[in-house]
Structure 1
Amino acid sequence: MNYKIIGDSDAPIVDITLSSGETIKVERGAMAFMQNVSLQAETNSKKSGFGGLVGAIARSAVSGESMFITKAVGQAEGARLGIAPAVPGKVACLNVGGGNQYRLNTGAFLACDDSVFYNIKRQDIGKAFFGGTGGLFVMETEGNGQVLINAFGDLVVLDITPNAPMAIDNEHVVAWEASLDYNIRVASGTFGFMSGEGLVNEFHGTGKVIIQTRNVHSLADAVAKYIPTSNN
């Protein structure tokens, strides 16, 4: 995937150049501009036909993502596609392949090569609170190629080592290496919810966790008090 990130660094657009016949997958609704590109809506599943439809429905129900994904196909050499994330923030590229795969939190996916997939992975009951909509399932990449992810705010990479596990707030986790293990716990003991921190993910092992510097829910809570309601 040949791309460059243009525009404001805090609210960028990704300008992708495609060869004739080259295909990439794009988050539904992310297209900002295109030239010599055709867009095709397909069910969000590796399978075709009825089995693919059932799989897409299942993915949507358990992960909160759309049943459909957009495939962009270059119709000529030098075709261009501009894509923009739903929220202001940085965009980064993950190189995946072989043993180097990632798990993505809800809303992190922006685009990927056609050779990359992301699948449902069932979690243990004790991890069912991970993310906003993941529940018992999270998404894991598969295949070889590039994946573009987006964040609300900046992106920061944290290194986890066996002798130094790290607790990270659910709402700040964007992606993490699939080799890492983690468990869910209350941030500050029995009365953690009273401190306002709630649940955190404590990551163990060796690998990287990519976090965002802001989270949408905190912003929503901050502005909610200024939004008029029918009672005031």
Structure 2
Amino acid sequence: MSDNRMKYTIDANMQFPLVEIALEAGESAYIQPGSMVYHTPSVTLNTKLNGRGAGLGKLLGAVGRSMVSGESMFLTRAVSNADGGVLALAPSAPGQVIALELGDKQYRLNDGAFLALDGSAQYRMERQSVGRAFFGGQGGLFVMTTEGQGTLLANAFGSIKKIELNNQEMTIDNAHVVAWSKELNYDIHLENGFFQSIGTGEGVVNTFRGTGVVYVQSLNLQTFASQLQGYIVTSSN
């Protein structure tokens, strides 16, 4: 009988690995739109509006969530109608993939960190303070928070490092944050005030307090994008 828990493999021999998810009959997983690389014939991908309710209300809800949280209007659900189904995924940015087991531990995710979630787990968009929404990259007015039992696959730009806090405090550049324990308090702010941040080049940071873990990525997508600007040829028209 299907237990609907994700069975996956991450090829450690690949610098930028693919993730293969095994699905038995009736098992499902929610995946990042556009992340599918290949799948067997038994696996079907279904896209639906990321909202609750039905009809126009569901459409407006999905549009509203997309506008205020940066979350996609759509969800992609992979379902297998037979045993032995295989689905391969790859992140949109080159980097490492980690698996986080949900149950006693739950997590919050930064934008772009979500890759896949098995069908027995869920997530919700949790409202943030206006200050966090203004400074942070964690979903604008809302932040993705997991719940239930299952497996979450998160991806990063570059390598991932796990930082463990035991009733401690740590300040991390906001663009390097991937995911963190739900129990941690967090405060998104400028490192040294507006003018000092401009002078030092250190901008928005996230200070975590309490006991839990924070996963950080070694590369900064915003910095990388700015480095590429000088090599991009634009039309003079």
TM-score by length of 1: 0.91
Identity over the aligned pairs, expressed in percent?
46
**Deviation per CA, 1:81-113, whole angstroms, max 9, x where unpaired?**
111110100001111124x21111111100111
8 Å contact from structure 1 (residues 23, 71) kept in 2: yes
In structure 1, runs of 5+ residues without a counterpart are: none
Determine the C-alpha separation between the residues in 2 that align with 1:54 and 1:117.
21
The alpha carbon displacement at 1:19 in A equals 0.3
8 Å contact from structure 2 (residues 70, 140) kept in 1: no
Question: Residue type of the partner of 1:168?
Answer: I
Matched, 1:95 2:82: no
Determine the C-alpha separation between the residues in 1 that align with 2:157 and 2:206.
19
Counterpart among 12, 19, 23 of residue 14 in structure 1? 19
1:197 match: 202
8 Å contact from structure 2 (residues 71, 139) kept in 1: no
Determine the C-alpha separation between the residues in 2 that align with 1:133 and 1:104.
7
Determine the C-alpha separation between the residues in 2 that align with 1:184 and 1:63.
16
Determine the C-alpha separation between the residues in 2 that align with 1:204 and 1:133.
17
1:73 match: 79
Q: 1:227 to 1:134 in 2, by over 3 A?
A: same
Determine the C-alpha separation between the residues in 1 that align with 2:119 and 2:9.
18
2:217 match: 212
Determine the C-alpha separation between the residues in 2 that align with 1:152 and 1:30.
15
8 Å contact from structure 2 (residues 132, 189) kept in 1: no
Counterpart among 54, 58, 61 of residue 64 in structure 2? 58
8 Å contact from structure 1 (residues 15, 80) kept in 2: yes
1:3 match: 8
Measured on the aligned residues, the alpha-carbon RMSD in Å equals 1.9
Counterpart among 149, 152, 155 of residue 150 in structure 1? 155
In structure 2, runs of 5+ residues without a counterpart are: 1-5
1:168 match: 172
**Deviation per CA, 1:125-150, whole angstroms, max 9, x where unpaired?**
23223543622211111111001010
Of 139-148 and 61-70, deviating more is 61-70
Counterpart among 37, 40, 44 of residue 38 in structure 1? 44
Determine the C-alpha separation between the residues in 1 that align with 2:229 and 2:187.
31
Question: Residue type of the partner of 2:65?
Answer: R
Determine the C-alpha separation between the residues in 1 that align with 2:166 and 2:135.
21
The alpha carbon displacement at 1:183 in A equals 1.2
Give the paired residue count: 229
